[in-house]
């Protein structure tokens, strides 16, 4: 893997492509139309709708450019053929104290802790990547060190 590639799962890439398409084909044309309407209202220096639309369009164009860069530089990883080690694209069952939790190791762009999608570059992700079933990973947390025992990898 080259250094400038962004690791992402197949589903994560599809989600980013879908978001990019929506921004380019739906949101941006509406903002351009809003900007044109605001521009036609005369004095631009006192036209707050024009200023707001212009700022929103600049922000949206930045987001579109960022997503295009991610999609262009992404490398789809599946977690398969990882020699039984945790990697991007794997599902991991962990034991924390007496409770079992299932996490998905994903690329940075698809991380969502609420959905238990953990980035490989997060403290927990870094502690887990490369480990195998039966091993333990320690992560420094605000409450102190937390030890995770790896029960299963899919």
Per-residue confidence at 78, pLDDT binned at 50, 70, 90?
A: confident
Q: Are 79 and 7 within 8 A, CB to CB? A: no
What are the extents of the domains in the chain? 6-76, 91-153
Q: 37-48: per-residue pLDDT in tens? A: 888 887 666 778
Share of the chain above pLDDT 90, in %: 65
The token pair at 91 is 């599902």
- Architecture of 6-76 per CATH? Orthogonal Bundle (1.10)
pTM: 0.77
Cα–Cα distance between 17 and 11 in angstroms, integer?
Answer: 10
Cα–Cα distance between 100 and 106 in angstroms, integer?
Answer: 19
Per-residue confidence at 3, pLDDT binned at 50, 70, 90?
A: low
Q: 92-145: per-residue pLDDT in tens? A: 999 998 999 999 999 999 999 999 999 999 999 999 999 999 999 999 888 889
Exposure string (b/e) for 91-126, b if CB count within 10 Å is 16 or more? ebebeeeeeeeebbbbbbbbbeeeeebbbbebebbe
63-77 average pLDDT score? 94
Can you give the length of the chain in residues? 154
Alpha-helix runs per DSSP H in the chain: 10-22, 28-39, 48-72, 123-128
Protein fold of 91-153: Chitinase A; domain 3 (3.10.50)
Q: What is the DSSP string of 99-112?
A: EEEEEEEE-GGG-B
40-63 average pLDDT score? 85
Look at the block and give the residue holding tokens 């960022």: 66
Whole-angstrom CA distances from 152 to 27, 91, 100, 101, 131 are 42, 8, 10, 10, 11
Q: Count CB neighbours of 23 within 10 A.
A: 17
pLDDT higher than threshold 70 for residue 81: no
Q: Count CB neighbours of 62 within 10 A.
A: 10
């Amino acid at each position: 893997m080259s250094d400038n590639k962004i690791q992402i799962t197949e589903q994560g890439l599809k989600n980013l492509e879908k978001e990019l398409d929506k921004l380019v084909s739906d949101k941006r044309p509406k903002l351009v139309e809003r900007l044109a309407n605001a521009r036609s209202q005369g004095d631009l220096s006192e036209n707050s709708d024009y200023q707001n639309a212009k700022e929103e369009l600049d922000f949206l164009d930045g987001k579109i450019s960022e997503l295009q860069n991610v999609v262009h530089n992404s490398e789809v990883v599946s977690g398969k053929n990882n020699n039984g080690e945790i990697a991007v694209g794997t599902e991991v069952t962990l034991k924390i104290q007496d409770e079992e939790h299932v996490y998905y190791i994903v690329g940075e762009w698809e991380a969502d802790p609420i959905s238990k999608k953990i980035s490989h570059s997060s403290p927990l992700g870094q502690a887990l990547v490369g480990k195998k079933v039966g091993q333990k990973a320690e992560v420094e947390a605000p409450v102190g060190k937390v030890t995770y025992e790896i029960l299963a990898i899919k």
